[in-house]
Structures are given as structure tokens and as C-alpha cells.
Amino acid sequence: MKVLVAPNSFKESLNSIEVAHHIAKGLRKVSRKFKITELPLADGGTGTSYIMTKALDGEFVSRKVTGPTNSMITATYGVVPKQRVAIVELAEAAGLKLIPKKERNPLITTTIGVGELILDAVNNRYRKIILGIGDSATIDCGVGALSVLGARFLDRKDSPIELNCKGLLNLKRIDTSQIPERVKSTKITIACDVKNILTGRYGALVYAKQKGAKRATMPLIRKALKIFKKVVLKQYQIDLDKIPGSGAAGGIGGAFVAVMKSEMISGFGLIKELVYLEDAIKACDLVITGEGKIDKQNLYGKTTKKVVDIAYKYKKPVILIAGSITKDAEIFYKYGVIGQYSILKSSVSLKNAIKNAPKLLEDLAYSIGKNFEIASPYVY
């Protein structure tokens, strides 16, 4: 049996490379009859740079940069010297994984380190940069990153604002006159699959809670986003609430579209082509995919649903594995899914599930392999 293991990352726990490895390891303990192909996926978030760089036969560069809480960290990005392409992942320099839950506060976190990675690539003569913007810990509308590239964000006295969400409350105008020509001539493409606009009910605020926002700070964040939208509309005649994805990663997507004239593309679509996902699904007998949490929201543009859709097209059965699965995810059974499994059981706390995810994944995959009727092919 040819099994394709093609998961996304388990947010704040394992990247997709690790998830695929542990699922495959569990299956291999069952039988050598499983011919397993590991094909980790990403959509602009954790793992994007690694997967794309490997697919393009590139290499990796590590740099000391400013982390989301302004302390120095080591971050890595990918480069493809022959094509003069750099692949930067926001999560490396401003991701949730870099801040313990109790210390998260999107009012003060910043994307300065993201800008430092981009500038490093520009200074090393990479003329095309792909920026994956998933899994961010920030809601600074990219002012941290863009300031490093030469943009200035000023208050009513023409003084620089604080480079975070709190600083946006004082934003009056954006000055791009000091952005170097080498930066302006670099093509920066934003890889993202989130469709949220900047403000409103389905705006960037939707993700504020997971980034550490408290109920008392929500009104301030909402106000900051509205101020940024107003300034961009006045200066660039661009309504960020009419651009799907402008609210992605705390507004950095929309900011780069407005200030740097960046293009936004599907992170999953880009990786799907690079790793020949469709061909791999066509060639297999069973697809195993999943991510950290699977619920009804996964029907709206998330990696899991996109993999399921391709498998459904080629009449391939799918098994979903996740950290947690909600009851409303049963709708996936309509799309060729034959099983859904979670490592988060009533006897396992979320904290322990995250800590012991590798072993739990291996054990779960072993159990699935044991119970799967290899001799009886699934009838679609």
C-alpha cells in the first residue's frame, strides 16, 4: 500500500517535517507493506522556508535579529543563489513559537526582525524575496519590518512612533522617501492563505486572542487597526478592507501591498506546485494529512481541506490526524475522508499533548496502521 503522509504543521508544537516524520515512523512499526512517502506541507506559516528551499535545492542562512519582544534571537531563511531568490518566514523572527503563552502581548510585539532578514537578503543581492507570513505573534501592521527597509512611521509632530501596535495609535503619516533604491527594486511577494481583511468582524482582530490579547486591550487594537487603515487610504488611496489577506499576520500583508507594492499569492498553491503534490496524490493509495486543530473553519481555505479536495478529485481515501478535532469536523466525511484521529484525549491535557506530541503521533499512527485493513482496499 502506497501511503502519502502530507500534513501541515501542528502550531506551537511541531513543524510539518516533524509531523510527517513521526506519523511515518509509527506506520513503519506496523508493517513493511506500507510504502510511505513523506511530503510535509505549509501555507506561508511555520515550515514554509524550509520546504520551499529544499524543493528549490537552495541553502540556509542564519542571522542574529530582533525578536518579537525586542530581544536578540537567531533566525534562519532560505536562499536559492542560482535564481537570486530568498525565502523569508515571518514566524522565524516574529512567530508565536518565540514567546511563552504567559508573555504574549500583541500591543507591544514587533516585526523588526522580519525586516532585518529581508534587508540582509537585499544586501546580499537577492532580487526576489518570498515572505511567508503565517503564525505571527504580532499586530503591528508591519511597521517594524518596513521601518528597517527605510519607511518612517510618524506621529502628528513628525516624530517616529513606537514600532508596534501601541505605536499605531499615534500614527499620522508614512514617509517612504528614505527607502533605498535597492530595496524598492526588489520584488517582495507575500505568501499567505488567510483571507481576513484588516478591520471589522473578520479582520486581523480575529487572531488577537491567540497572540495574547486580553479583553481590556481589544478596543485599543481595534482602534490601532482603524488608524492604520485610514492613513493608508489617505496616502495611497488603497482601502485595505477591500483586499483579501490584508489583515493576515496582524496587517503585515496589507502594509506590504500598500507601501512596497507587493503581490499576495497563495502559500499553499506555491508549495503545492514545488513539491508536485497533485502527482503524489495521484500515485498513492491512501492520503494522511492534518494539522494542529481541525474544525469547520478548515473548510475555508486551510491546507487540510485543500489536500482533501485534491484527493477527492482523484478518488483517494483520506485519514485526518490532528492535535484536536471538533465535532463539526464530521462534515469532512462528505469529502472522501474515512477516518479522523486526534492526539488530544480526555486523559491528556493540552500542555502534555504539545510536550509529548512526537510520541503521541507515533503511537496514534501505529494504532491506525494496526487497525487498517490492508488486504481490503477501500471502495470509494
Which CATH number covers residue 326?
A: 3.40.50.10350
Does 234 share its domain with 157?
yes
Judge if 230 and 214 occupy the same domain. Answer: yes
Amino acid symbol at 344: L
Element (H, E) at 75: strand 72-80
- Asked if residue 317 and residue 190 are part of one domain, the reply reads no
Q: What is the DSSP string of 160-229?
A: BPPSSHHHHTT--EEE-TTS-HHHHTSEEEEE------SSSTTSGGGGTGGGT--TTTHHHHHHHHHHHH
Structural domain includes residue 232: yes
Look at residue 332 and tell me whether its pLDDT is greater than 50.
Answer: yes
If pLDDT is split at 50, 70 and 90, which confidence band does 46 have?
Answer: confident
Whose grid coordinates read 502628528?
156
CA atoms within a 13 Å half-sphere pointing along the CA-CB vector of 338: 18
CA dist 97 and 85 (Å) reads: 26
Q: What CATH number is given to the structural domain containing 95?
A: 3.90.1510.10
63-97 in b/e form (b: 16+ CB < 10 A) is bebbbbbeeebebbbbbbeeeebbbbbbbbbbbbe
Residues 172, 289 within the same domain: no
User: Are residues 13 and 35 both part of a single domain?
Assistant: yes
Question: 144 vs 32, 110, 196, 226, 269, CA distance in Å?
Answer: 51, 6, 21, 18, 28
Reported for 209-217, long-range contacts at CB under 8 A and 24+ positions apart, including other chains, are 210/96, 211/96, 211/104, 211/106, 211/109, 211/136, 211/137, 211/138, 211/139, 211/250, 212/99, 212/101, 212/103, 212/104, 212/105, 212/106, 212/137, 213/105, 213/106, 213/107, 213/139, 217/105, 217/106, 217/107
Where is the domain boundary, 237, 267, 297? 267
Residue 286 lies in a domain: yes
Four-residue CA torsion sign, 162, 168, 169, 175: positive
Q: What angle do CA 359, 365, 368 make, to 5 degrees?
A: 140
**Nearest alpha carbon to residue 280 among 332, 320, 316:** 316
What per-residue confidence (pLDDT) applies to 188?
98
Q: Which helix (H) or strand (E) holds 304?
A: helix 303-313
Q: Is residue 280 part of a domain?
A: yes
Residue 358: its H or E element: helix 357-371
pLDDT for the residue 350: 64
| Structure confidence at residue 380 as a pLDDT band (50, 70, 90) | very low
**Dihedral sign computed on CA atoms, order 198, 199, 205, 207:** negative
Ramachandran region, residue 135 (left: φ > 0; alpha: ψ -120 to 50; beta: rest): left
* Domain assignment present for 377: no
Is the domain of 233 the same as that of 311?
A: no
Domain boundary among 267, 291, 321: 267
Among 267, 292, 327, the domain boundary falls at: 267
Q: Tell whether the model's pLDDT for residue 377 goes beyond 60.
A: no
> Is residue 380 included in any domain, yes or no?
no
- Closest Cα partner for 237 from 257, 251, 252, 222? 257
Report yes or no on 24 lying in a domain.
yes
Q: Is residue 376 part of a domain?
A: no
Q: pLDDT category, 323, cuts 50, 70, 90? A: confident
Q: Distance between CA 343 and CA 357 in Å, rounded?
A: 8
- Same domain? For 203 and 71 the reply is yes
Specify whether 80 is located in the same domain as 173.
yes
pTM (global) more than 0.85: yes
Model pLDDT, residue 33? 85
1 in Cβ contact with 284 (< 8 Å): no
Instruction: Report how far residue 14's alpha carbon sits from residue 130's, in angstroms, rounded to the nearest whole number.
Output: 22
What average pLDDT does range 307-328 have in this prediction? 92
Is residue 312 included in any domain, yes or no?
yes
For 189, the domain range is 48-267
Both 206 and 251 in one domain: the answer is yes
Lowest mean pLDDT among 32-41, 75-84, 152-161, 340-349: 340-349
What whole-number distance in Å separates Cα of residue 69 and Cα of residue 267? 26
Q: What is the rounded distance in angstroms from the CA atom of residue 3 to the CA atom of residue 6?
A: 9
Q: What is the pLDDT of residue 349?
A: 65
Number of domains in the chain: 2
Tell whether 259 and 290 lie within a shared domain. Answer: no
Strand, helix or coil for residue 286: strand
Same domain, 258 and 345: no
Q: Are 287 and 294 in contact (CB under 8 A)?
A: no
221 and 75 fall within a common domain: yes
C-alpha to C-alpha distance for 342 and 364, rounded to whole angstroms: 8
Q: Which three three-digit cell numbers place residue 28?
A: 513503519
Query: pLDDT tens-digit profile of 271-294?
Result: 999 999 999 999 999 999 999 888
